[in-house]
Amino acid sequence: MTQLILCEKYRIAIAVAKALKATLNPAYGVYTNGDITVVYVHRGFIKPVGLDKASNGCLPFVPEKFKIAVTDKKRDRVLKPLFRNAKEVVFASDEGADAQARFFNICRHFRVGHPTSRMWLPSITRASIRRSFSKREKGRHLHNLAQSGLVAGAMDMMFEYNFAGVLKRWYYEGEPLTRKEVVAMQYLGDMDEQAAQYDAQPKAYRIFLDYGGLHLVSDQSWQSERVCAAIVDTIPVGEPVKARMTVTEEDASVVRLHTMLTLQMDAFDNFGFMPSLTVRTAEKLYEQGFISSPYITAPDAGNRITVLRRLSKRATKTERSLYRLIAGRMDAAAMPPEKKQYASVTAEIAGLTFTCRWEVRKPKPEYTGTSEQTITIVEKMMAPVKEVSPISYGFVPTLANLTGYATLTADTTHPDMPYCHTVHEYGTALEGLVRKGFITIKDGTIACTPEGDRLLLDLAPYNLAHSILVGQYGADEIPYGTITGRKAVKGFGEWLTDTVTDILCYTPKNE
């Protein structure tokens, strides 16, 4: 009887085997020393069975049960005796609920009745692996974590099947949209609405006063050009005016180590890497032991992505670029925060307050404080201004804002939740919308295609994004014992059935 350790990546299995001195290799991806056996089981070994056959073409369709099936019979025959002879089955991974769900399905397939446990792998150094093995976790919370991943997977399957049918009725062709892609699409639609509100604002006029190359701007604005022009006429030019200059000092924003989100953002900004390329490359660097696990969440401040050892000369250009990006962020995070100074000049003229603000390029400690000055206005003018829209369609700010919107509840209420692709990965959702023809990314800016604009019109009456996130929140609550997986799936299934039924009432039937 041995302790059986499962790894989903071949290189990680080798690293774990070496660290635990399991050197005998009786079969591909199997390493043992008699007491410990490490086995590689690829993540696609067991997959859920699609709903197409069970549904028999029905729409809407929510199954009572979800089936799983083995995809690799040859590997199955190798693994059966290992599970039969194990006294404990250990899952070694750096991922969260989705990975734990896959482990649960494997144990269910092999009818594991002996104890199970979990090794968290923040890195694959020997010391880290041995420490994880000696402190492996056991308990009900791991079962609940797996249930969370299983529920999220069930929601994905139900939504993709049913929404694929809806898209066909709406005369869309191609791949079905995932839950996260619909959330991302509706978020882009909300951005369009907010931008339109800013564009609809009426023009306002402000007064600009030039003194020595700097411009004072009136704090007040006027809707009437005539009223503003009359006020401009009352302002003297060429006369000395008292003003107050204030210089303040503050620390620049603290540079933090990378998370998967910020790594995707920086990689796109610096190299034009799409999120899926960043994910694949980061995984390879982790599997080779060059960096710590990329699968950590923003609240996990003490365990972010770091460089562990010098990069191999055989690394690809993409790997070198990402490695240097992570190393550079580590260097920046280790430096003390930079001091920044901001200056402002305020003057009262003709009963109005005028202000000019700027950042001091070469700050010095003696600059800070307040001083009285006398300035002379050399020119005056008025101009129409509009409030600057805070909406940015750049890929990086959109990804940051979308992820913050979609994961706010998860990160706020459950900051200790392990990284989960279903919850935290929205970069690949935006990329999926590009691949499926609903948006484009040109020169770093996101824009909807005509097909995307049509989809937004079709989605508008139903507010699917809100209900999808509420359903995911139910799945996220399972590890904390506030809801059962059965109840979460039932609630999502009922909403999906009602929504699809409502949509089909106003949609032509297939001929």
- Look at residue 175 in the predicted model and tell me its pLDDT: 87
Partners of 385 in beta bridges: 204
Whether residue 396 sits in one domain with residue 470: yes
Whether residue 380 sits in one domain with residue 443: no
**Predicted structure pTM score:** 0.88
Query: How are strands ordered across the β-sheet holding 30-32?
Result: 24-27, 30-32, 36-40, 2-7, 86-93, 116-120
Q: Averaged over 322-348, what is the pLDDT?
A: 93
- Look at residue 509 in the predicted model and tell me its pLDDT: 62
Residue 55 lies inside a defined structural domain of this protein: yes
Q: Nearest 10 degrees: CA dihedral of 195, 197, 203, 205?
A: -80
Residue 395 lies inside a defined structural domain of this protein: yes
- Look at residue 387 in the predicted model and tell me its pLDDT: 72
Residue 426 lies inside a defined structural domain of this protein: yes
Whether residue 367 sits in one domain with residue 238: yes
Q: Is the pLDDT of residue 297 over 70?
A: no
Whether residue 329 sits in one domain with residue 264: yes
DSSP-derived secondary structure for 75-107: HHHHHHHHHHTEEEEEEEES--HHHHHHHHHHH
Q: Is the pLDDT of residue 298 over 60?
A: no
How does residue 393 score in pLDDT terms, banded at 50, 70 and 90? very high
With 0-12 / 13-18 / 19 or more C-beta atoms within 10 angstroms meaning exposed / middle / buried, residue 154 is buried
Whether residue 158 sits in one domain with residue 241: no
How does residue 28 score in pLDDT terms, banded at 50, 70 and 90? very high
- Look at residue 171 in the predicted model and tell me its pLDDT: 85
Residue 347 lies inside a defined structural domain of this protein: yes
How does residue 421 score in pLDDT terms, banded at 50, 70 and 90? confident
Q: Is the pLDDT of residue 38 over 70?
A: yes
Domain end, chosen from 138, 160, 176, is at 138
Percent of the chain surpassing pLDDT 90? 77
Residue 350 lies inside a defined structural domain of this protein: yes
Whether residue 58 sits in one domain with residue 126: yes
CATH label of the domain that carries residue 185: 1.10.460.10
How does residue 278 score in pLDDT terms, banded at 50, 70 and 90? very high
With 0-12 / 13-18 / 19 or more C-beta atoms within 10 angstroms meaning exposed / middle / buried, residue 247 is middle
Count up the domains in the chain and report the number. 4
Q: Is the pLDDT of residue 121 over 90?
A: yes
Residue 510 lies inside a defined structural domain of this protein: no
How does residue 417 score in pLDDT terms, banded at 50, 70 and 90? confident
Q: Is the pLDDT of residue 95 over 80?
A: yes
d(CA 248, CA 447): 40
CATH label of the domain that carries residue 309: 1.10.290.10
Domain end, chosen from 354, 370, 385, is at 385
| Token pair in block for residue 454 | 């049509």
How does residue 416 score in pLDDT terms, banded at 50, 70 and 90? confident
pLDDT tens track for 134-147 = 999 999 999 999 99
Which of 309, 275, 258 lies closest to 427 in space, CA to CA?
Answer: 275
CATH label of the domain that carries residue 81: 3.40.50.140
Whether residue 499 sits in one domain with residue 433: yes
> Which residue, chain included where needed, has tokens 């499926």?
436
Max mean pLDDT among 43-47, 53-57, 386-390 falls in 43-47
Whether residue 280 sits in one domain with residue 315: yes
- Look at residue 254 in the predicted model and tell me its pLDDT: 83
Whether residue 368 sits in one domain with residue 220: yes
- Look at residue 355 in the predicted model and tell me its pLDDT: 96
H helices of 140-257, in order, are: 140-169, 179-199, 225-233
Average pLDDT score, the chain: 92
Whether residue 367 sits in one domain with residue 229: yes
Q: Averaged over 474-491, what is the pLDDT?
A: 92
User: What residues contact 465, with CB distance under 8 A and at least 6 apart?
Assistant: 182, 183, 186, 187
Whether residue 121 sits in one domain with residue 43: yes
CATH label of the domain that carries residue 353: 2.70.20.10
| Token pair in block for residue 400 | 């940051």
Percent of the chain surpassing pLDDT 70? 98
How does residue 302 score in pLDDT terms, banded at 50, 70 and 90? low
Range of the domain at 155: 149-197+391-505
Q: Averaged over 20-39, what is the pLDDT?
A: 95
How does residue 510 score in pLDDT terms, banded at 50, 70 and 90? low
- Look at residue 44 in the predicted model and tell me its pLDDT: 93
Q: Is the pLDDT of residue 1 over 90?
A: no
Residue 143 lies inside a defined structural domain of this protein: no
Residue 23 lies inside a defined structural domain of this protein: yes
Cβ(444)–Cβ(396) under 8 Å?
yes
Whether residue 361 sits in one domain with residue 245: yes
Domain end, chosen from 316, 334, 352, is at 334
Q: Averaged over 359-368, what is the pLDDT?
A: 90
| Token pair in block for residue 425 | 């990965």
pLDDT tens track for 238-276 = 889 999 999 999 888 888 899 999 999 999 999 999 999
The amino acid at residue 374 is T
The amino acid at residue 117 is S
- End-to-end Cα separation, the chain, in angstroms: 61
